[in-house]
Amino acid sequence: MNIHNFEKACEKVMNSQHRREGIGTLGEKTLHAVLKHYFEPDETCHEKRVGSFYADILNSNGITEIQTRQWNKLRQKLKAFLPDNEVTLVYPVAYTKYLLWISEETGEISKRRLSPKKGSAYDIFPELYRIKNFLEDENLHLCIVYVDIEEYRLLNGWSTDKKKGSWRHDRIPKGLQNIIYIRNKKDYSLLIPGTLPAQFTSRDYSKAAGLSLSNAQTALNVLNYVNAVGRVGKKGKLFIYERT
């Protein structure tokens, strides 16, 4: 992790012409652009064609793809990339988030407000489940990036205050907090809370990781698939797991 390089990437993207013209005015959003410049400052390595697809980054380290959600859309790329390339998937986590609201009528932007929600590495599991069949490939690596962000949302939701169901317009990174690399199967142990007992259920994992029971079950499904945990019994309707 290099704070100086992250700040340089932020400065470069925010000072670029299309950012000065307006937040998120082009198809590429600001957070994506900053992370792309952080992991590879050389723009000649950006948006490189590999077979029938374009990679966010192609350099001596292989291919890097930055994806915040909808990892199911990566399946065809992974099928094409992985046989011949090292592929790192970068997953940004909003560690500290400030919300700002944009009026569609006037363009006025509200004062920023700190969101009570904090992101965590465990948020990645629903996305991993979408590409579960690729997780055992030795060429696939994960990178979870904790960033502080300002999130701009449009006041176009269905509720009275227009906030519920609103569209996310752009996310502006303001700081880099941590980076976690999952380079091999052993590293998945980093996604198992250290406070868990030797044997535990999805309900225990839910409490330790701060996830809903449903997401905890998804997490353990993935961890069991990559053999980071194993099922050793049942407690009522819940499986009992232990670290492998």
A 10 A CB-CB count for 181 gives 12
Locus of tokens 């990178």:
143
Q: Digits of tens for pLDDT over the chain (244 positions)? A: 889 999 999 988 988 744 555 554 445 689 999 999 999 999 999 999 998 999 999 999 999 999 988 999 999 999 999 999 999 999 999 999 998 888 877 888 888 899 888 899 999 999 999 999 999 999 999 999 999 999 888 877 777 776 777 777 788 999 999 999 999 989 999 999 999 999 999 999 999 999 999 999 999 999 999 999 999 999 999 999 999 9
What structural domains and CATH numbers belong to the chain? Answer: 3-183 (no CATH), 188-244 (1.10.10.10)
Tokens of 198: 């030797």
Distance of CA 178 to the CA centre of its chain: 13
Q: What is the DSSP letter of 27?
A: S
Task: Evaluate whether 66 touches 117 at the Cβ level (below 8 Å).
Answer: no
CA end-to-end distance (rounded Å), the chain: 29
138, amino acid identity = E
**Are 31 and 173 contacting, i.e. CB atoms less than 8 angstroms apart?**
yes
H runs (alpha helix) in 62-142: 75-81, 125-130
